[in-house]
């Protein structure tokens, strides 16, 4: 049976076919070596940054999570991939930077097998749980590497609940119980002729008193 397609090797007339094949093989091998080197550099950068990252308090607050960020090397690499290598850094748009940051956090989370909890994975999982309450949606996105698992969400929410309970106060954490002036506000309706059949000529308002 004859072949339905054939590849062609285009090379200079100054080379023989053996030299042309050797050059083509070396070109493919050099690309593979370059990819291997780039992958090793990015992986090492992620692992080193993870090992050097400080331990967060439990449960971590939103401010604590903002102290975590992917290695700059990984983010810059993804910006170049998305925007194109000929686009200078000064011309990266907001969309390029946001997408690169999101993908960089996915890479860090995947490279560390989920051990390095990135802000995206924690906040997205919590937001989905609050908005939908669906374990299936969170589990689906977790398997795709975009957020933490449903069990981790429950663990974090339980930790937050215990932390609030331990404060033994109904006041927010940024309000102290000493050195403050307290005020009480009372509100009431003010209605006149509200039972008229047509509704015209009536007055309805509210007023408040601050003590």
Cβ burial of 70 (10 Å; 0-12, 13-18, 19+) is buried
pLDDT in tens, 171-181: 666 666 677 66
Other CB atoms within 10 A of residue 192 CB: 10
Average pLDDT over residues 98-121: 94
Please give the pLDDT value at position 27: 63
pLDDT in tens, 38-95: 899 999 999 999 999 988 888 888 889 989 999 999 999 999 999 987 787 778 888 9
Q: SS3 for 57?
A: coil
**At 155, is the pLDDT very low, low, confident or very high (cuts 50, 70, 90)?**
very high
* 175, 192 contact by CB (below 8 A): no
Q: What percent of the chain has pLDDT over 90?
A: 44
Query: Cα 186–191–195 angle (5° rounding)?
Result: 145
pLDDT in tens, 3-18: 555 666 565 666 666 6
């Amino acid at each position: 049976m004859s072949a339905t397609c054939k590849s062609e090797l285009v090379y200079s007339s100054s080379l023989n076919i053996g030299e042309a094949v050797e050059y083509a093989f070396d070109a493919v091998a050099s690309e593979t070596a370059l990819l291997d080197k780039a992958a090793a550099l990015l992986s090492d950068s992620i692992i080193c940054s993870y090992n050097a990252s400080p331990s967060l308090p439990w449960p971590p607050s939103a401010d604590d999570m903002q102290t975590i960020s992917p290695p700059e090397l990984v983010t810059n690499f993804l910006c170049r991939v998305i925007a194109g290598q000929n686009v200078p850094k000064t011309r990266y748009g907001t969309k390029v930077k946001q997408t690169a940051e999101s993908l960089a956090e996915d890479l860090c989370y995947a490279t560390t097998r989920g051990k390095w909890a990135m802000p995206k994975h924690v906040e997205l999982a919590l937001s989905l749980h609050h908005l939908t309450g669906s374990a299936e949606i969170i589990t689906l996105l977790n398997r795709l590497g975009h957020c933490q698992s449903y069990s981790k969400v429950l663990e974090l929410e339980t930790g937050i609940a215990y932390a609030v309970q331990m404060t033994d106060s109904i006041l927010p954490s940024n309000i102290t119980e000493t050195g403050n002036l307290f005020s009480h506000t009372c509100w009431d309706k003010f209605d006149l002729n509200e039972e008229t059949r047509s509704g015209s000529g009536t007055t309805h308002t509210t007023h408040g008193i601050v003590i």
